[in-house]
Amino acid sequence: MREAPACRQAGLKIAERRVKRGVYEAILAERIRFSLFWSLARAFWLLFLGRKSNSLHLLIKGDLTQKFMKLIVGLGNPGKKYEKNRHNYGFLALDHVHENFKTFDDWVLDKKSNALISKGEFQGQQIILVKPQTFMNLSGSSIASLANFYKINSEDIWLVHDDFDLPLGVIRISKNSSNGGHKGVKSIIDALGTKDFLRFRLGIHPIGKTFLSVIFKKLTSIEKFVLKNFDKEEIKMAQEAIQRTDQAIETALKEGPEQAMNEFN
């Protein structure tokens, strides 16, 4: 009769082990089901929906720290007031790239950098299009923030902006050059601590006019001139230059900046 408590104790231990084994088996089965579900979901998105949203495509791939290869920046001022100004040439050109390439997400505001960004890819290269919302003279803070976050080197930052020193309709691709009096470019050079980045410069100087003639005729300054809209007779030339800029960026992505310089400079 004294063996009964010992038997009961042994029985309880056996039952306890069985319960624990059952719990472990249930947890393992749940993990297997979750893993299978996630694998199927990932396959579904990659096959059918991944192309529709490059950001979601990266998320499904599980690569949350994806480093984008290029930061393509258009310079301008935010708001309807400045929308069609000469100084917003960079914004206008980048909007054309965004629309024409058809591989980029919708524009979203990145609050940390205070910039509108659009992520996408071209020729297997991951790209972020950027329109700083800080106003022109403070553009550098946005670019430096994004470059630091995505670990992008200065040579992988491409800048698109207006240039008063070039005639309207002319584009020039340059690298490692001075700011040329452009305060937005100066802000970026100061923030990055280098001028070793590619620039697509779009001319806005009136054809057939010297700067002095513009000053005396319009009683204005360069600052006021760039904050005015393109004249009616200038719009066609500006649009043609934007299209060539689009082509130049595409060539630079496909064949490299040197080839783009040879073709478009």
As annotated, the active-site residues are 87
Residue corresponding to tokens 């400079």: 265
Q: Dump the DSSP string for the chain.
A: -THHHHHHHHHHHHHHHHHHHHHHHHHHHHHHHHHHHHHHHHHHIIIIIGGG-HHHHHHHHT-TTPPPSEEEEE----SGGGTTBGGGHHHHHHHHHHHHH--BPPPEEETTTTEEEEEEEETTEEEEEEEE-S-GGGHHHHHHHHHHHHT--GGGEEEEEEEEEEETT-EEEEES---TT-HHHHHHHHHHT---SEEEEEEEEPTT--HHHHHHHHT--HHHHHTSBPPHHHHHHHHHHHHHHHHHHHHHHHH-HHHHHHHH-
Q: Which two tokens stand for residue 136?
A: 């022109």
